[in-house]
Amino acid sequence: MILTSQTANYETQQEEKVNRITWTPLQDGRVKQEWNTISANGEATLIFKGFYEKLKH
């Protein structure tokens, strides 16, 4: 699943970056989340990478 949003500079109302958050199910049952920002020139920067797993009771 992928979620995207755009951010704008509040003073100029110019588009500045795109946030792209991706969730990927893994074969071991975990889910990987990566959050990237993409600048106006197309440069992507990874700002968060995490893994989620169910609690084992």
For 17-30, write each residue's pLDDT tens digit.
Answer: 899 999 999 999 99
Q: State how far the Cα of 14 lies from the Cα of 35, in Å rounded to an integer.
A: 22
Q: For residues 16 and 21, give the distance between their C-alpha atoms in angstroms, rounded to a whole number.
A: 17
CA distance between the termini of the chain: 27
> How many CA atoms lie within 13 Å of 17's alpha carbon, on the beta-carbon side?
13
Instruction: Record the pTM.
Output: 0.77
What is the rounded CA–CA span in Å between residue 15 and residue 25?
31
pLDDT digits (tens, 9 = 90+) for 37-52: 998 889 999 999 999 9
How confident is the model over 27-36, as pLDDT tens digits? Answer: 999 999 999 9
